[in-house]
Amino acid sequence: MTNLHDTAPSADAAGTWRLGDLTVNRLGLGAMRLTGMPWDEKPKSRDGAIAVLRRAIELGVDHIDTASFYFTATRSANELISTALQPYPENLVITTKVGPGRDRDGEFAFARPDRLRGQVEENIRQLGLDHLDVVNLRWGAAMGKEPGSLAEHFGVLADLREAGLIRHLGVSNVGADQLTEAMAIAPVVCVQNRYGLTDRQDDALLALCAEHGIAFVPFFAVTTEVPGATPQTGDTVPGEAEVARVAAAHGATPAQIRLAWTLHRGEHVLAIPGTGDPAHLEENVAAGALRLGEDELALLDAVGT
């Protein structure tokens, strides 16, 4: 049985996966929370966010997920990454998303295909890069999935890949039909969808990704089950007793168990937990070393069915 206090945290403990020709540790970092969330009472500390990013690199994190639309009135995730980490480590893979953006009234709206090049170039400028490692087309403007063909939008990104502005492509917030449609246009290296212990609607899509060697990268794998962590969460925590039981056996936190369960879903599953707190960062990275037993996995699996 794994006890997290036995070893120092290292992002390579969960193993690696390939995003195209880029190898990353399966435990990465999501940058959205570096800026603070819209409902926070006050902005996150700029120095604290920079410290988290630099500490993540020290702990072996080599995969950071960000977007130009991750910003608040006083903070920008891309600017924080650029300030904290340039010159970038050679092995660092920065994944970005395009699609959503601000309209003239400051509200989020989904971009027309002819706006995607501008969004890609905006990410390149903000991050101080010559090209982007991985770009996900984040489909739709709503939190839930939206129907429709993504061919025109994804085709624009495929052209930008051919032009050298993008190295690899992914999709986000999609269904199986949309993933299949994208694969027919250009190689897809990752799918980034909402997924977690009790948010299991994409079990079949996760399996489809495994069949094609595509990374499945859940977002909100932990925070969807923390009351108040997102606008979508309520006051209850499904599976709280089961998670607490497993956590106690490993000397771990409930969040670490949820991350570990996510990573146990398949070798192609990556984790990108976000945080603006150095202590939480270390806890998240340490979760990659957790090895859950078959009985524990069966107990947790039953929570979401």
Catalytic amino acids? 70
Please state, in angstroms and as integers, the Cα–Cα distance from residue 137 to each residue in 1, 34, 78, 100, 129, following that order. 39, 22, 17, 9, 19
Q: Report the alpha-carbon distance of residue 22 to residue 24 in Å, rounded.
A: 7
Q: Report the alpha-carbon distance of residue 281 to residue 276 in Å, rounded.
A: 8
DSSP state, 201? T
Q: Is the dihedral of CA 150, 135, 51, 60 positive or negative?
A: positive
* Long-range Cβ contacts of 295-298 (<8 Å, 24+ apart): 296/246, 296/249, 297/261, 297/264
Q: Report the alpha-carbon distance of residue 113 to residue 270 in Å, rounded.
A: 28
Give the count of alpha carbons within 13 A of 226, CB side only: 12
Bridge partners for 274 per DSSP: 30
* Long-range Cβ contacts of 239-242 (<8 Å, 24+ apart): 239/197, 239/198, 239/300, 239/303, 239/304, 242/299, 242/300, 242/302, 242/303
